[in-house]
Structure 1
Amino acid sequence: MRILLLTLLISSSLFSQTTKLPTDKNLKVAYFASGCFWCVEAIYESVPGVKEAISGYAGSDVKNPTYKTIHKTGHAETVAVYYNPLEIDYAELINVYYLSQDPTTVGQNPDFGNSYRSIIFYSNEHERKIAQAKFNYVNKLFNGKAVTEIKMIDHFYPAEDYHQNYEKNHPDNSYVKAVSIPRLNRFKDKYFKK
């Protein structure tokens, strides 16, 4: 009985959503879905002006999703990007977004499916116009094959604590070594050498 209680206690702590969100009132937040959130979080955290990136879930009306349920709820793995607008603007965050992915696929290799789809979430009309203009430009570059959704953010749910800063905390993980780090390096090669 004690073993069962201990197992339940440990497993519930792994899935608690106690992630602390930044409280600096000078920061703005933008939301992006682009494949695995471990990769996207690391990409945005490498960009000057970004102060924090939080992995989570958005894009569905179902409340309180978890990593185990998002494949059924319609949520996408999403990253909340906290940034200083005096150092980087929303339009540049969208440039980062498109430079870090293939906008013609639903998901990013090797992660495909609804929970890995490409979405730029906006919080207001100004952001929507910027996102739509950037999408139109990228779509033209890819001959009308871009699949990025542009949606109003309804609610963002931070992912379980063990997903936060996953690439930094698990550099020897096989997925991180085979997928996350190479994707981050491809982005850096394009972004920082432009």
Structure 2
Amino acid sequence: MNSPKVGIATVGGGCFWCTEAIFQEVRGIHKVVSGYTGGNAPGRPTYREVCSGLTGHAEVVQVTFDPDVISYHDLLVIFMTTHDPTTLNRQGADVGAQYRSVIYYHDEEQHKTATKVIQELADSFDAPIVTEVSPLETFYEAEDYHQDYYRNNPRQGYCSYVITPKLNKLRKLHADKLG
């Protein structure tokens, strides 16, 4: 029996609660885990440390997906069009390097695809895309209370005012890719 193909993508588009909620609606996504990567502080970072801006880590999600259902290319298009890839170290009111727009690639093929998607979408934005493209080093899973945050807290203020509009944008732009 053949085991199903699995792809893994790691991206950061501001607060990981937003990005997690986006990908949880996409068909072909098996799992979305909020976490941290890209920092230079030793040891496993905590949310408090990452939010201080001193560790250099970004809030990211690691997405496990079925490449026969959703391609890495299409996954990145969804990512790039559901956050603002033109603001450096900021998404809305969330400011700091931990909220940077970033694609962490797992291999050279993902690196090429990330560069290609950014080039393809460049003319779709009013400002230059500043999304960082870097190799993934170590991914640290965030604390349990960050996992499935929107699903567990849909009426919380941040969820209502920040995440719900992003989900509405996803549903409008990518209805054909939703589960």
Query: Which sits farther off after the overlay, 132-141 or 48-57?
Result: 132-141
Secondary structure of the residue that 1:32 maps to in structure 2?
strand
Residue 125 of structure 1 corresponds to: 108
Output one character per residue of 1:88-109: Cα deviation in whole Å (capped at 9) or x when no partner: 1110110111111111112221
Give the Å deviation of 1:121.
Answer: 0.8
Give the Å deviation of 1:40.
Answer: 0.2
Residue 73 of structure 1 corresponds to: 55
Residue 82 of structure 1 corresponds to: 64
Q: Is the 8 A contact 2:28 2:70 kept in 1?
A: yes
Q: 1:92 aligns with which of 59, 65, 74?
A: 74
For structure 1, list consecutive stretches of 5 or more residues without a partner in the other structure.
Answer: 1-23
The answer on 1:183 being equivalent to 2:162 is: no
Output one character per residue of 1:64-97: Cα deviation in whole Å (capped at 9) or x when no partner: 1110001210000000001011111110110111
> Which letter maps to 2:27?
P
Output one character per residue of 1:132-152: Cα deviation in whole Å (capped at 9) or x when no partner: 111122234436611100000
Give the Å deviation of 1:61.
Answer: 2.9
Residue 142 of structure 1 corresponds to: 125
Matches within 5 A, 1:168-179: 168-179=151-162
Secondary structure of the residue that 2:70 maps to in structure 1?
coil
Residue 153 of structure 1 corresponds to: 136
The answer on 1:30 being equivalent to 2:12 is: no
Q: Is the 8 A contact 1:37 1:78 kept in 2?
A: yes
Is the radius of gyration larger for structure 1 or structure 2?
1
Q: TM-score, normalised by structure 2?
A: 0.89
Output one character per residue of 1:13-50: Cα deviation in whole Å (capped at 9) or x when no partner: xxxxxxxxxxx874221000001100100101100001
Output one character per residue of 1:143-183: Cα deviation in whole Å (capped at 9) or x when no partner: 66111000000011000000000000011211111111111
State how far apart, in whole Å, the 2-side matches of 1:122 and 1:111 are: 24
Secondary structure of the residue that 1:69 maps to in structure 2?
helix
* Count of matched residue pairs: 171
Q: Is the 8 A contact 2:5 2:68 kept in 1?
A: no
Q: How many percent of aligned residue pairs carry the same amino acid?
A: 38
Residue 164 of structure 1 corresponds to: 147
> Which letter maps to 2:122?
N
The CA RMSD measured in Å over matched residues stands at 1.7
State how far apart, in whole Å, the 2-side matches of 1:140 and 1:183 are: 21
Cα distance change, pair 28–182 in 1 and its aligned pair in 2 (3 A): same
